[in-house]
With several copies, the nearest count.
Chain A
Amino acid sequence: MASDQLIEQSNCALAFSDIDIQIPSDLVFERVVRESAVFVAKYLGFDEERVGDLQLAVSEAVTNAIEHGNNSDINIKVGVKFYIRAERLAVKVTDQGHWVEAAHTVERANDDIDMETRLEHDMTRGMGIFLIERLVDNLDVKSSSTGTEFTMWFNLHKGSEPNDPVSFNIELQKADQHLN
């Protein structure tokens, strides 16, 4: 099937209703979501490279939600929703934690990764967000007392520069703002 046809088809099925996956907060289940992402990307007619980009971005976001959001507590879930709005595929990853800004690990979109410093200080983590920013077309993070919503957007029709770093819109509400 031509990819245009697939996108057409998707506007029927995905635009009205979403795919929703809930997994226990254990890293082994990250793979279920990652494979589903591949299916959705292929269904939408993404080319091989974009399929890989989407798969990796979803994997990173789900890993973070399991580890940082839910502290790997298998009694609570990480949710993932795939849906289409305004010519874009959205992947919304939700957890029940609070966003933790970690200035020394989060590499901002306009910085290059300074591998030399990393290697000197044995810093082998902190590349997830850095990669996500380079793989998605847009990114939104909302965090409040009810948890974190991490939403990644992928254009259905390839536009402008692919894989340009995106701006990272983050909206953090103080936990107590909602609590009382």
Chain B
Amino acid sequence: MTLKVEQGNAFTIIHIQNDSVDATSAKEIAGIKDRMNQTTIMDFGPVMFINSAGISALLKLVIEARKQGKKLYAVNVTAHHRKVFEMVDMLRYMPIAKMEDLMPLISA
């Protein structure tokens, strides 16, 4: 399994279990779009590599979140992946946050 999903009342935390967000994991990531919540957090903890096939899957979530009026956050993002997300202007739609700072949103 590539993903572990934690569901709360008003939040979903999607823990990516893979080390790569790429073509082989893209489908499963894009498939999560029906399980998003008011606050949806993507946890990139073990992710060592992201390419454009992976970003494409993440963008599908971004598009869906906008349609549904939901908010997406990324946590545990490496410096290199932050740079790549910046290059493709991803951070405007899925800002990088610290888990601690999101606690008020998910414990509310």
**In the complex with contacts A122-B63, A127-B56, A113-B89 CB distance below 8 A:** yes
**CB nearest to A121 among chain B residues:** B63
- Interface residues of chain A, those whose CB is within 8 Å of chain B, are 27-28, 30-31, 34, 48-49, 52-53, 55-56, 59-60, 63, 112-113, 115, 118-119, 122, 124-125, 127-128, 130-131, 134
Distance of A176 Cα from B56 Cα, bound (Å): 35
Determine whether B7 belongs to the interface, using a CB cutoff of 8 Å to chain A. no
Residue from A28, A48, A56 whose CB has the most chain B CB atoms within 10 Å: A56
Distance of A134 Cα from B80 Cα, bound (Å): 13
Check if B60 sits within 8 Å of A124, measured CB to CB. yes
**In the complex with contacts A55-B49, A59-B51, A130-B24 CB distance below 8 A:** no
Check if A115 sits within 8 Å of B22, measured CB to CB. no
Contacts of B87 in A (CB 8 A): 113, 130-131, 134
How many residues on chain B are close to A (CB under 8 Å)?
Answer: 27
Q: Interface SS of chain A: helix, strand, loop or mixed? A: helix
Contacts of B93 in A (CB 8 A): 115, 119
Contacts of B60 in A (CB 8 A): 124
Check if B23 sits within 8 Å of A127, measured CB to CB. no
**CB nearest to B55 among chain A residues:** A127
- Nearest CB in chain B: distance from A177 CB, A: 31
**In the complex with contacts A112-B89, A118-B59, A128-B52, A52-B80 CB distance below 8 A:** yes
Check if B79 sits within 8 Å of A124, measured CB to CB. no
Contacts of A125 in B (CB 8 A): 52, 56
**In the complex with contacts A124-B63, A127-B55, A128-B52, A115-B90 CB distance below 8 A:** yes
